[in-house]
Amino acid sequence: MKALVVHAGNSWESTRGFELMDVSEPVLDEKKNESDASAVIIKVHYAGVCGSDKGIWHRQAFRDQIVGSLRAEQRPYRIVGHEFFGEIIACGSNVGARYDLAAGEYVSCESHVVCNTCFQCRRGEKHVCTNEKILGISHDGAFAEYIKVPGHIVWKTDTTKIRPEIAALQEPFGNAVHAASKIDLRGNTVGIFGLGPIGLFALLVIKGFEANHIIGIEPNPKAADMARALGIDYVIPLLPIHDRPSYSHNPAVIKEVLAITGGLGVDAAFEMAGFNSSVNNAIYSTRRGGDVILFGIKSGDFVIEQYDRLIVRGLTLHAVIGRKVFQTWETTRALLEDTANGIQESLWNIVLRQGNGTILPISEYSKETFETLLIKHPKFLLQF
């Protein structure tokens, strides 16, 4: 089968992109692998390209997880990709009774392959599983014609209510749902710091959760325009500052947020970019007693300016990772299936541009084409 892969070994830092390879199709062999009794094989129809994939493409993210897992498995390459939609073509002997799944059903998947046995999993906190593997990183992923996954991460999808291309976005859209579910947003004024793909998804979810006003902070004019098309109330351009440390908040941004909110600040700030300065912008823009939701992620140490200010203003910080399994997926399904909120329509018409230039058949893959799409579109799909 055709698959996009990265290789382990000393070549990691000196390579770039994904290689299109012919690899063996996954099989179910319960005699050799007892776990296959609870696994399914899915024919991938569409796979979404994520910011994490962009990080792997440029060799800026997940080196240790990918290389380390491949060394443990004694394998030379990892199939990448973790957002997808497809059709079950084979099930292990325990799958039907245990997970109510059958061949021919259309599905997506939770990308975190949780263990179901650790302290967190047993407490219903599977999104922070101690022993998780991640599709496309420490477990072979979905940029392939077929994928084998354990049945307990499979999520059925009704294609009469959610179109297949949008079904491939349920996993990343669920990130935004999880972040927006941390607090009650009804009637609130909300700031979104970073209007990348998940920031744009968060905009739609926050609107769906009946926030009053939404302010976006974004340096990219194209992303700002897309946010306006999706119905954001205000966009503040993020211009560089040169006379302050790189971690510092941007006084012009804070001034504009305060002007919009009558000097109060936002009720909730969603930090979706992961830059130190953006975290401080979010904190400085939030009113006394407000909430800061931290989703964007970068490695390394961060500086919080005026730590005492954070405390005396009574702010609450929420760190968000992944999706709650499967509570977030249930909310995601409800939002996407509800035609009244226009979310699915907006995703298809505006974010995916009705498939115009945002769907790349695997037969047309080249590194040049893929990288062009990474630059041009906040979100695009591979079609298998």
**Does some domain include residue 203?**
yes
CATH number for the domain harbouring residue 32: 3.90.180.10
Q: Which of 268, 291, 319 is the last residue of a domain?
A: 319
Quick check: is 66 in a domain?
Answer: yes
Query: Do residues 154 and 257 share a domain?
Result: no
Q: Are residues 42 and 158 located together in one domain of the fold?
A: yes
Q: Is the same domain home to 167 and 212?
A: no
- 324/228 Cα distance (integer angstroms): 29
368 and 294, same structural domain?
Answer: no
How many CB atoms lie under 10 A from the CB of residue 19?
A: 13
Same domain as 208, residue 118: no
- Is the predicted pLDDT of residue 245 greater than 90, yes or no? yes
Q: Is residue 177 domain-resident?
A: no
% of residues, the chain, pLDDT over 90:
95
Are 246 and 369 in the same domain? no
The mean pLDDT value of the chain amounts to 96
**Among residues 264, 296, 319, which one ends one of the domains?**
319
In a shared domain, residues 211 and 331: no
pLDDT of 193 reads 98
pLDDT at 57: 96
CA–CA dist 341, 343 (Å, integer):
6
2-7 and 19-22: which strand pairing?
Answer: antiparallel
Quick one: pLDDT at residue 14? 85
In angstroms, what is the C-alpha Rg of the chain? Answer: 21
- State if pTM tops 0.85: yes
| pLDDT over 70 at 10, yes or no | no
Q: What is the CATH number of the domain that holds 253?
A: 3.40.50.720
Identify the weakest region by mean pLDDT among 181-185, 242-246, 326-330, 369-373: 242-246
Burial 177-208 (b: 16+ CB within 10 A, else e): bbbbbbbebeebbbbbbbbbbbbbbbbbbbbb
The total number of structural domains that make up the chain: 2
Residues 253, 375 within the same domain: no
What would the pLDDT profile of 165-206 be if each residue is shown by its tens digit? 999 999 999 999 999 999 999 999 999 999 999 999 999 999
9 and 158, same domain (yes or no): yes
Q: Which amino acid is present at 156? A: K
Q: What pLDDT was estimated at residue 299? A: 85
Domain that holds residue 73: 2-172+324-383
Residue 178 lies in a domain: no
pLDDT digits (tens, 9 = 90+) for 182-191: 999 999 999 9
100 and 237 assigned to the same domain: no
User: Domain check: are 277 and 353 in the same one?
Assistant: no
What tens digit of pLDDT does each residue of 14-66 get? 889 999 999 999 999 999 999 999 999 999 999 999 999 999 999 988 999 99
Inside any domain, residue 205: yes
- pLDDT band at residue 103 using 50, 70 and 90 as cut-offs: very high
Same domain, 168 and 190: no
Does 334 map to a domain? yes
Confidence (pLDDT) at 13:
82
Q: Residue 68 pLDDT > 90, yes or no?
A: yes
